[in-house]
Structure 1
Amino acid sequence: MAKIPGSAGLVLVEGVRHLDEEAAVYEGMLSGWENQQKSRMLAVTTIEPRIALIRRFTDFAESYPWAWTASDVEDFTVSLTSASGGRLAPSTIRGYHLVLKLFCDYLTDQRYEWVRECRDRFGQIPSQVCHDWNTVAHLNDYEGRPERRPFTYDELQRLFDYLDQRVEAIAVSGRKGALAALRDAQMIKTAYAFGLRRNELCKLDLADLHHNPHMPDWGTYGSVHVRYGKATRGSSPQRRTVLTVPEFDWVIPGLKQWVEHARPILNPGNHPALWVTERLTRVDGRYLEKRFTRIRAAAGLPADLTLHCLRHAYVTHLVEFGYPERFVQEQVGHRYASTTAIYTSVSNDFKTQTLRKALHRIYAPQPRQSESKESS
């Protein structure tokens, strides 16, 4: 009978006795689980952190998987929530629990033969040590930092005014860096105008700028094709097309200026990246994040506002402009509408306008019958 990827018989040599049999079987388990995950086409960036966590938990428990108990999980969780452990967020700890549960599911699945191997070799068998009563439950849709919020319109205006003033000041002074300042300004504005994540923005190529047949006047700036959208764990990057909407058409002249006039000054040759540095490399996310932090501070904006908050603002403002929920969801690449709802936080101005319309609709004086007859 053919053995499936990850089974004990494929990683342990039958009849061979090891000097340290427990360590050999343990390493075989990790190799088998790695092979099983690879057969499911999971990415290396997903598999390696999982293996590292299992090793970390094994060191903490001071025992091998066939001797693990539920209390080991509980003690591990307590260590993660203590001050010395860094007090990790509930969502992070839940992720750890999920990995431990997946590994135990793999070991206890009879098809992979680890139960038999452990019974025959050690007189013990692995069990599922993660249960509903000793793991973190997913109780809330959003567990991020509560201080994270969208930019207000005033904050956006202050940010964009500062970006424009910065470019002008550097250009007038004759100092180097005017092109970099213009690029940084346009990147930040583009992040908001299309609701892009940091990596999505940095990975854009010139070829990702497309026409919108319904708006030929916008040229190649009618939509942006995102090829490196956020992937679900283990899957490839998700693709989507983000349409330019009329309320954000102000971004087009800036993009056009960068693509057609400023970028060519750098002589990028055949470099595909939309955002290139003076050294003709692609702008990376860490640079952009650091640059944004400095710009935000110089503009006098709250430290809680991150680059990602521009994406929150994009979702919020599309909702305020009256775009359907499904359209907003497609624009930002959310798989579920509930995720889009997490990003939405309509402004006080929008709430006030909505309330004013409702009050007028319900409480505004109605014309008397006689007046309505006379007018007819």
Structure 2
Amino acid sequence: MTDASFATSDTLRAHIAGWQRELSTIRRLAPKTVESYSRDVHQFLVFLSGHIGGPIDVPDLAALRPADLRAFLAARRREDIGSRSLARTLSGLKSLFSYLEREDLVALEALSVVRTPKLARGLPRPLSVLEARAAGPAAIESEDRPWVGARDAAVIALCYGAGLRISEALALTRIDLDGTTLRVRGKGNKIRLVPLIAPVREAVKAYLKLCPFALSATEPMFRGVRGGPLNPRLIQLRLEHLRGVLGLPASATPHTLRHSFATHLLAKGGDLRAIQELLGHASLSTTQIYTHIDSERLLEAYRAAHPRG
């Protein structure tokens, strides 16, 4: 990190060093995180030094006003710094001020009234239909124990073929299976019914036939090798392995399968409100993110195919 001695007093530099030691040795933050926080604080102190016209000392921080912080954030915005970086900057400043407050040197009043910049919602990157369909069979082929391969294929089928969250899939019991429908307990314990299409139904049936454990009607039906409830990390690891086997993107996770379910339904003309119900979204605005994904895919196809693209 660039030396900030020209902008700060010896006393403040000593306190900053103490804060950095706390981040590293007590809070055990990653070195890169400590480096980023320190760089953000340095940039703020350089700005503040120019803002008030002199070196910064502890009393200057204690007298900080919300307007000073907003001026700093506005200056960073003019340098084309994004909302995510500004949010991290505020997080670093709050960490420093929290440390100084515990040392009875400053209060956090100015920071408490400055809002964190609103982060743009990231668009999920769906798999292609062929990639999503290949994941289940590949899970079976890459596993020596047939029942474990069938188990992982069934969970993958539920995430892609029924749009379930991984937590929802692993919470399913045999009583939740009702022929062609699936009873799903979602966020906030809200119950929804999801159609169980034939390939998903067959995948679950194949697993239940091979599962070596006695499963009661009300217990989670997906089990680990010792018989306990299946840890979601094992399915995540399976997808990580399949990335190499199938050449899937690094973003391929169980949740990506759920995103792919929604995106592919929309691409085939699925009704947005119906997709909302299937996904268990409380708000339609959450589901509408998939309209942006579909538009981006159409634009990509247009640019690739149009003679003047």
What TM-score do you get using the length of structure 1 for normalisation? 0.49
Matches of residues 85-234 of structure 1 in structure 2 within 5 Å?
A: 89=84, 93=88, 127=109, 129-131=111-113, 135-138=115-118, 140=120, 142=121, 144=122, 148-166=124-142, 170=144, 177-209=145-177, 211=178, 219=179, 221-227=180-186, 229=187
Residue 222 of structure 2 is aligned to residue 275 of structure 1: yes
1:330 shift after superposition: 1.5
Superposition RMSD in Å: 4.5
- Residue number in structure 1 paired with 2:192: 241
Q: Which amino acid aligns with 2:251?
A: D
Relative distance call for 1:139 and 1:272 in structure 2 (3 A) is closer
d(CA) in 2 for partners of 1:338 and 1:91?
25
Unpaired stretches in structure 1, ≥5 consecutive residues: 1-56, 82-86, 101-121, 171-176, 212-218, 230-236, 354-376
Instruction: Give the counterpart letter for 1:130 in structure 2.
Output: S
Structure 1 residues 321 and 293: alpha-carbon distance in aligned structure 2, compared to 1, 3 A threshold: same
Find the residue that maps to 1:225 and give its secondary structure. Answer: strand
CA distance in 2, matches of 1:69, 1:333: 45
Shift, 1:208, TM fit: 2.6
C-alpha deviation, 1:126, in angstroms:
7.6
- Shift of residue 351 of structure 1? 8.4
Per-residue CA distance 1:150-185 (angstroms, 9 max, x = gap): 111121233234234335xx3xxxxxx221111011
Match of 2:286, SS state, is: helix
Q: Which secondary structure state, in structure 1, belongs to the residue aligned with residue 228 of structure 2?
A: coil
**Cα offsets for 1:161-212 (capped at 9, x unmatched):** 4234335xx3xxxxxx221111011111111111112222222222332x3x
Aligned residue type for 1:202: L
Q: How far apart are the structure 1 equivalents of 2:152 and 2:68? A: 46
In structure 1, how many angstroms separate the alpha carbons of the residues matched to 2:286 and 2:193? 17
CA contact (8 A) 2:239 2:252 kept: no
**CA separation in 1, counterparts of 2:68 and 2:230?**
42
Note closer, same or farther for the CA distance 1:154–1:73 as it changes in structure 2 (3 Å cut): farther
1:58-73 equivalences in 2 (<5 Å): 69-70=64-65
Measure how far apart 1:131 and its partner are: 3.9
SS of equivalent residue, structure 1 residue 255:
helix
Compared with structure 1, are the counterparts of its residues 160 and 269 closer, same or farther at alpha carbon in structure 2 (3 Å cutoff)? closer
How many residues are paired up?
228
Q: Does residue 297 of the first structure (1) align with residue 277 of the second (2)?
A: no
Specify whether residues 159 and 195 from structure 1 end up closer, same or farther in structure 2 by C-alpha distance, changes over 3 A only. Answer: same
Instruction: Please give the alpha-carbon distance, in whole angstroms, between the structure 2 residues aligned to 1:240 and 1:280.
Output: 27
Determine the C-alpha separation between the residues in 2 that align with 1:280 and 1:315: 32
1:266 maps to: 213
Counterpart for residue 35 of structure 1: none
Cα distance, 1:128 vs. partner? 5.5
Decide whether the 8 Å contact of 1:266 with 1:278 is kept in 2: no
Please state how far the C-alpha of 1:130 moved relative to its aligned partner: 3.5
Aligned residue for 1:243, secondary structure, equals strand
| Inter-partner Cα distance in structure 2 for 1:254 and 1:73 | 60
Q: What's the counterpart of residue 294 of structure 2? A: 346
Larger Rg: 1
- CA distance in structure 2 between the partners assigned to 1:272 and 1:329 by the alignment: 28
Rounded Cα–Cα distance in structure 1 between residues aligned with 2:295 and 2:156 = 21
1:325 equivalenced with 2:305 (yes/no)? no
